[in-house]
Chains A and B, each alone.
Chain A
Amino acid sequence: MSEGLKIIVPIKQVPETTEVEFDEETGTLKREGVAAIINPFDEFAIEEGLRLKEKHGGEVNVLTMGPPWAADALRDAIAMGADKGWLVTDRAFAGADTWATSLTLAKSIEKMDGYDLIICGLKTTDGDTGQTGPEMAEHLNIPHVCYVNEIIDVKDGKVVLKRNLDDGVETLEAPLPLLITVGKDINQPRLATLRGRIKAKKAEIKEITNSDLQLDPKEIGLEGSFTRVVKIFEPEQHEAGEVVEGTVEELVDAIYQKLQECKVI
């Protein structure tokens, strides 16, 4: 790796708040007036990419799929220190579920300047699925490792890393090219600097449309999506608080029952 690591960080622009307002009439979300930001989990991915670049050399390319204004997210990433931004944008890509999104992104990555490592945030704060990364790896036919919390070493085309599982931490060795997803315990993302932002404003954003990818319309966008949304609705509110008095045994029973309802015992 004399030229260093070629890193791609796919990111997504998400609404700044998850306190979404729900329009009862149309059954859709009100997105008006909500600022758009880089998915917070993707910031960890960008940061890890930048740290690897600082250590091993190479470059960090950021990639996003979305409407033209999603380029703002790419510029934010460039302000943090990423080298180049790629915007995958086409009306035909709209409405995609994770399968169609991951296919489109995978095909776009194949059109970019090559890669050793793809780093994704472990999920987005809007969709919350965490599926696009591993599905992308499958479409690219490369291995993936989710929930990476530490990259120990990158050497001789191999990465030694640790990942969080529910019951402990696993140490793995994976070959490059590789896709990983990372969460908040891997690093603390840096803030963009003023100089970085000024540079990012002028940075060129490369666009990829379906005329570049030539994907079958049946495989992209809403039409290429295997899942459909029947409805969205607001979750039931917390029940009104109940205050109980009584004998010790009654009180203990009340707590015990609540703990059971919460499925923690």
Chain B
Amino acid sequence: MKWFPVSLKRSRSNRKMPEFAELTPEHRAELESIVGKENVSSTQEDLDKHAIDESPLDPHPPTLVVKPGSTSEVSRVLKLANENMIPVTPQGSRTGLSGASHPIHAGIALSLERMNRIIEIDEDNLMAVMEPGVLISDAHEAIAKHGLYYPPDPGQESGSVGGNISTNAGGMRAMKYGVTRDFINGLEVVLASGEVIEMGGKNIKDSTGYSLIDLIIGSEGTLGVVTKATLRLIPQFKYTALIYAPFKSTIDAANTVREIVRQKIMPFGLEYMTQHTVLTVEKYLERKLPDNSHPAYLIVAVEANTKEELERQLETAGEICLDMGAVDAYIADTAQRQNQIWEARKAVFDAYLAMYTLDEADICIPRSKIPEYVERAEAIGEKYGVLLAPVGHAGDGNLHYNIIKLDETPEEEWPELMESALSDLIDMSHEMGGTASGEHGLGYTKRHYLVREVGSTQVELMKGIKAVFDPKGILNPSKVWV
């Protein structure tokens, strides 16, 4: 799949990149002495693997893949790179969707996969301390064993904790709990110079100076490399259940989202899907969802500590759905029934990826604007002759618009159509006070949208911050802005 963001091409000529150095055999020997021979690789297999994430961007192979095993190794690798002007691209499990972990300028792919220890689950302080390479699914599993929960729950469970911090990932539970930023209490970060700094810790409150920790979260590996994170945990609820509600129109479903928010029910998950998505995922998993014959669907997930409270929430949310035009309100209350629906929801992106050529917009708008957005987006699809399949964390206003190539669209026209549709979707989001990316980050493929959203003053501030943290610009160059 070859494509080039249109606006990216245009802007490239007038940008000046720092002069990066090539990695030499001497550098390699030194890197091998730092992390061990077996943890420096240039095999074709490794270069291929570390050249991509899950975005449709063409591969950017690094010169070397380096896999440090400790903070001090990360520190020494960065020091070497910084002194020699070698670009470094930090990588977690490379499941990002906007090219943030592509080694655009080759150099070192700094894979943190070996740093995957869960150091501590502290039940006294409700905190967990872990290394960045721990996978989100493993973190959830280990934490659940203590009856606790780490709410950020991006659909991609094989993403890493470090990657989630770098993009400020959100996911299915953001409506009630917020995003990764709200649950990161402390970080250990290695700066480009190799210096190790610690921010925050296990304190719930902290009014000391600037919150540098919040700069690191969401910085997509451009300010430093996270080597340890302290995660805030909450007690698990005893009971959960969900409603799967089919609607006669997309607008009814969108209005219901607004109504649920207005009625002050706080589901932990509120997801929106259209029929196209339901049919696609059914085909992909070869399994049926409770209904597939209506234009739009909502999944409303609630939790409580007593059965009575759970029942009350189900009834209230269910009644709202029915009042707002839901055809029915199916209830999944056992773990198995809920899992079947969550699994289907989480397989949506993979299903589209398996069956279509596409990219995904990741806009986030104020929740009250959802009905208007959903309605107007349909015209954008028609205008460019692309299929728009929105799937969203509707409860927090974060809609993923899968922009899908129609069969009849010629390959060569697709990149431009796709980029134009994406651009319009983002413009419309901005118009409604929304953002270009709710949770995926701008990375490489969407970096040209930053200035449109925040304006040049803020971009210059960010560049200034970058220059303080990484004066030579070796950390994940060419990301976040143009």
Give the B-binding residues of A (Cβ under 8 A).
Answer: 16-17, 35, 37-38, 40, 76, 79, 188, 190-195, 197-198
Contacts and interface: CB of A to CB of B under 8 A. Distances in A.
State the 8 A-B residue pairs at the shortest beta-carbon distance, nearest first: A194-B318, A191-B330, A194-B329, A37-B334, A191-B290, A188-B288, A192-B331, A193-B328
Contacts of A79: 331
The interface residues of chain B, by DSSP majority, are classed as: mixed
A16 B337 CA distance: 11
A79 B335 CA distance: 17
- Chain A contact residues: over half helix, strand or loop, or mixed? mixed
Contacts of B314: 194, 197
B374 interface: no
A198 B315 contact: yes
B312 interface: no
Contacts of B331: 79, 191-194, 197
B381 to A, nearest CB: 31
B319 interface: yes
19 contacts: A16-B335, A37-B334, A37-B336, A38-B334, A188-B288, A190-B330, A191-B290, A191-B332, A192-B331, A193-B328, A193-B329, A193-B330, A194-B314, A194-B315, A194-B319, A194-B322, A194-B328, A194-B329, A194-B331
Interface in B292-329: 314-315, 318-319, 321-322, 328-329
A188 B289 CA distance: 9
Given A37-B334, A193-B329, A194-B328, 16 more contacts: A16-B335, A17-B335, A35-B334, A76-B333, A79-B331, A191-B244, A191-B330, A192-B330, A192-B331, A192-B333, A193-B330, A193-B331, A194-B315, A194-B318, A195-B329, A197-B331
Interface of B: 239, 243-244, 287-288, 290, 314-315, 318-319, 321-322, 328-337
B13 to A, nearest CB: 53
Given A17-B335, A37-B334, A190 B318 contact: no
Contacts of B334: 16, 35, 37-38
Nearest to B288: A188
A54 to B, nearest CB: 16
Residue of A40, A79, A191, A193 contacting most chain B CB atoms (<10 Å): A191
Contacts of A16: 334-336
Contacts of A193: 328-331
Nearest to B245: A194
Contacts of B330: 190-193
B264 to A, nearest CB: 19
B225 to A, nearest CB: 32
A14 to B, nearest CB: 11
- Max chain A CB contacts within 10 Å: which of B314, B331, B332? B331
Nearest to B315: A194
Contacts of A17: 335
B336 A40 contact: yes
B358 to A, nearest CB: 28
A194 to B, nearest CB: 4
A37 B307 CA distance: 13
A138 to B, nearest CB: 32
A150 to B, nearest CB: 16
Contacts of B329: 193-195
B320 to A, nearest CB: 11
